Chains A and B, each alone.
Chain A
Amino acid sequence: MDRRIALGGLIVAAIGLAGVIAFETRSIGSPAVASGPSTRIGGPFTLVDQHGRVVTDRDLRGKPTVMFFGFTYCPEVCPTTLAALTAWMKALGPDADKLNVVYVTIDPERDTPKQLALYLSSFDPRIRGLTGTAAQIAQIAHEYGVYYQKIPLSGGGYTMDHSSAVYLMDARGGFEGVIGYQEPTPQALAQLRALVRA
């Protein structure tokens, strides 16, 4: 029964992701769109974490991974999602240790390892923050079908448009589904528990 509910959640999530990809392919004329239509989600990457250590896709193998793309200048979606992830990890109890929880910045220009370390100190300490060069971030965003674009502001500075979903990957790096923004906690927890068993 529980499994059927979890499967239903994954189907809903997959439909949501299909919507993201469909939307993305319609965004013509956006130079920073990192990805075209994706047939496969995920792939190799080399990035650096908030402590300055190199992290590759291989380092995440062996445990399922929960991955969110955001930026620290983001006032709502990113801190709310990180707060939700922190609460969900607490609710999962020991099962949370069976997951990698990863926050990848799509704003590597401002989100240095030092900035990520400071920012993530407000959340569950098991959340790893990843940054890299513009090319490295473009690569991982492309592989995950993540849309992001730098938007200059008239008063100086810039903001970022970006995909808001949380990606769920199995222990071999295979795509399992997504958790949408503001998905109710019971559904999100069901998906995470299913992911632990994946």
Chain B
Amino acid sequence: MLRNPIAAIIAACAIASPAAVAAHDYSAGALKVGHPWSRPTPAGAPTAAGYLTITNSGPKADVLLGGSSSMASKVEVHQMTMAGGIMRMRPLPAGLLIPAHQSVTLGPGGYHLMLIGPKRPFKVGDHIPVTLRFQRAGAVNVEFDVQASAPDGGQPMSMGMH
């Protein structure tokens, strides 16, 4: 039993703040949100992208509508496409469908959360708090780990010569 309130807080923080590189998951009803992550952003970058995997183990579809963050002015669901060497990016104003019994990955080159107006550049090791908003599951609080490489070993984002 944790009688000391400070010890209780430290224990709670330890549970809520997993190590930077370790995968971390969140659950909300039938939804599991797997390893939210983001890349470091250049100085003055007006946007950042957030990535995660959403697994819906329930019998009903849900919709990721968007979100909010104390670290950005706006959080929207966007889709990037690349065709014929042309990069295009569009918001999904109706949100992103998470079908029943399926997983949807938001990752580089495809669906992503667009964090518009970051309050400051994201650095490797940062944890960016975001409240995801789902049609059915409601608000889900997660933290995006800022890391240089994609969890699946994609091209590292090494910045800074000085």
- Which residues on A are within 8 Å of B, measured CB to CB? 16-17, 19-20, 22-24, 72-77, 79-80, 82-84, 86-87, 90, 110, 115, 118-125, 147, 151, 153-155, 159, 161-165, 180-182, 185
Contacts and interface: CB of A to CB of B under 8 A. Distances in A.
A17 to B, nearest CB: 8
Contacts of A121: 42-44
Contact of A23 (B42, B83, B87, B115): B83
A87 B158 contact: yes
B124 to A, nearest CB: 12
A80 B80 CA distance: 14
Contacts of B80: 76-77
B151 to A, nearest CB: 16
A20 B85 contact: yes
A164 B83 CA distance: 10
Contacts of B22: none
B65 to A, nearest CB: 14
A75 B91 contact: no
B48 interface: yes
B159 A119 contact: no
Given A80-B155, A122-B45, A164-B82, 8 more contacts: A75-B45, A76-B108, A80-B39, A83-B158, A122-B121, A122-B159, A164-B86, A182-B155
A66 B49 CA distance: 26
Contacts, number: 121
Contacts of A185: 155
A115 B48 CA distance: 16
A53 B152 CA distance: 42
Nearest to A22: B84
A83 B157 contact: yes
User: A-B pairs with the 5 shortest C-beta distances?
Assistant: A23-B84, A118-B44, A122-B42, A20-B85, A75-B49
Contacts of B83: 23
The SS class assigned to the B binding surface is: loop
B91 to A, nearest CB: 6
A90 B160 CA distance: 11
A164 B115 CA distance: 21
Contact of B45 (A119, A124, A163): A119
B44 A159 contact: no
Nearest to A182: B155
Interface in B121-162: 121, 155-162
Q: Which of B49, B86, B156 is the most central at the interface, judged by chain A CB atoms within 10 Å of its CB?
A: B86
Contacts of A22: 84
A20 B157 contact: no
B3 interface: no
A92 to B, nearest CB: 13
A78 to B, nearest CB: 9
Contact of A79 (B93, B109, B157, B161): B157
Q: Which of A73, A79, A124, A165 is the most central at the interface, judged by chain B CB atoms within 10 Å of its CB?
A: A79
